[in-house]
Amino acid sequence: MAEHRHLTIAIDGPASAGKGTVARGVARRLGYQYVDTGAMYRSLAYIAREQGVSWASPQEVAQLAGTLDFAFVWDGELLRIEVDGRDYTRLIRSDSIGMGASQISAHPPVRTALLTLQRDLGARGGVVMDGRDIGTVVLPTADLKVYLDADLDIRAQRRHEELMRRGDVLSLSDVRKSLDARDRQDRERAIAPLRCAEDAIRMDTSNMTERQAVEAVLQRIPEARRQQAIDSGSSKQ
Ligand code: DC
């Protein structure tokens, strides 16, 4: 019988398409690790700003990335991101840090610095990783790839509610504009742009509850396992 290995699951899509909620829900149900790669770019943008490193300086930001130790730690329902032992989970969710993360993520040396770390986190399987380039660049041989999308107005509403809960005062139309600009920047950059991998399953979460979106991904697991068993059997021949 083919050897069983834990799956590697890649979830990509634009901002506020539901990636984090779905990835976290799927990871919890399967007992897998969840890796939020956006949180890595966000923490790096936050730390750069704190240390006076310009978001416009590719080499300096990349150099900073190389000195940092990123870790993901479960805290009940919440996945915390710690960098050099400090908790950044709540500090990095603002709209301006999102834009900073998008800006630094377009620099090739910055992506190279984080790519190795992200590949290491995905190497042993048993992981759900979300971001913009997971299925296309970080884990191109993932066992299951999902591309989540949703209508821009609905995504703006979701992000607006999230920001309001945090106490960020931004109008819905400003949130919509910012989200649209960030998506355009992420789609149009020269390196590892946001796009749907050819072998990814596309899902539109506009009219789905969080639970339905998690279930829709979980339904694909048996087929991904079957395919993995076939692939690992044929690679031994
Ligand atoms: O998922 P998020 O909104 O927290 O990500 C913030 C920014 O980080 C996003 O606008 C682009 C960048 N990012 C990226 O370039 N590649 C990833 N794999 C994840 C995030």
**Atom 20 of ligand 1 has which residue's CA nearest to it?**
38
pLDDT at position 232 is: 83
- Tell me the torsion sign for CA atoms 51, 56, 57, 63: positive
Domain ranges of the chain: 2-214
Confidence at residue 32, expressed as pLDDT on a 0 to 100 scale: 94
Q: Does the structure show a pLDDT above 90 at 1?
A: no
Average pLDDT of the chain? 94
CB of 135 closer than 6 A to ligand 1? no
The finding on whether 92 has its CB within 6 A of some atom of ligand 1 is no
Check residue 4 and give its pLDDT: 58
The answer as to CATH 3.40.50.1820 being correct for domain 2-214 is no
Residue 168's pLDDT is: 85
The whole-model pTM stands at 0.95
* pLDDT score for 101: 98
Q: How far does residue 98's CA lie from ligand 1's centre (Å)? A: 8
Q: What percent of the chain has pLDDT over 70?
A: 97
Query: Has residue 53 got a pLDDT over 60?
Result: yes
Residues of the chain with pLDDT > 90, as a percent, come to 89
Q: How are beta strands 144-149 and 70-75 bridged, if at all?
A: unpaired
Mean pLDDT of 54-76: 95
How far is residue 182's CA from residue 188's CA, in Å, rounded to a whole number? 10
- Measured in residues, the chain has a length of 237
**pLDDT at site 2:** 45
- Most distant CA atoms of the chain, gap in Å: 60
> What is the reported pLDDT for 79?
87
The atom of ligand 1 lying closest to the CA of 39 is 4
* Ligand 1 contact, 38 CB (< 6 A): yes
Whether 105 lines ligand 1, by a CB cut-off of 6 Å, is: yes
Q: Rounded to an integer, what distance in angstroms lies between the CA atom of residue 106 and that of residue 192?
A: 8
